[in-house]
Amino acid sequence: MRNSKSTFRFNVTNALLMSLAMGIVGMPMAMAADVASDTKTTAYEESQTPVSDTWITTKVKGDLLVTEEVKGLDINVSTTNGVVTLAGLLDSQAQVDKAVAVTKAIKGVKSVETKALKVKPAK
């Protein structure tokens, strides 16, 4: 048999859950109206906030890793105020050029510094 304290707690919990559930039921309709009137396609595209250096570095590194013509694991990437620095040793000038092109195509990249990105000497 329950005591009055646990019964009260049970009833209060049920009441809170019911009011929460009732509030949620009405929420999707209100949210749908807001979404329907919104002309923006995505928050990312419409953001007025500049892309962060950390995001740029991560995006560059990820794109270099999935680019077949470039050995992304051989390239170190750092970004300061939108200026991306690429460093490492690659097999050919074509790989260097491709790495630079991939980097420049990323939103937020102001320029690419490649002084530390070298081609391995021929054997």
The pLDDT tens digits for 68-82 are: 999 999 999 999 999
Do 30 and 85 lie in a common domain? no
Q: Judging by beta carbons within 10 Å of its beta carbon (0-12, 13-18, 19+), is residue 113 exposed, middle or buried?
A: middle
Tokens representing residue 34 in the block: 């807001």
Average pLDDT over the chain reads 76
**43 lies in a domain?**
no
The pLDDT of 46-69, averaged and rounded, is 85
Asked if residue 80 lies in contact with residue 51, where contact means CB atoms within 8 angstroms, the answer is no
**48 lies in a domain?**
no
Query: Looking at the 3D structure of the chain, how many domains does it have?
Result: 2
Do 64 and 113 lie in a common domain? yes
Do 61 and 23 lie in a common domain? no
Q: Is the pTM of this model over 0.85?
A: no
Do 104 and 81 lie in a common domain? yes
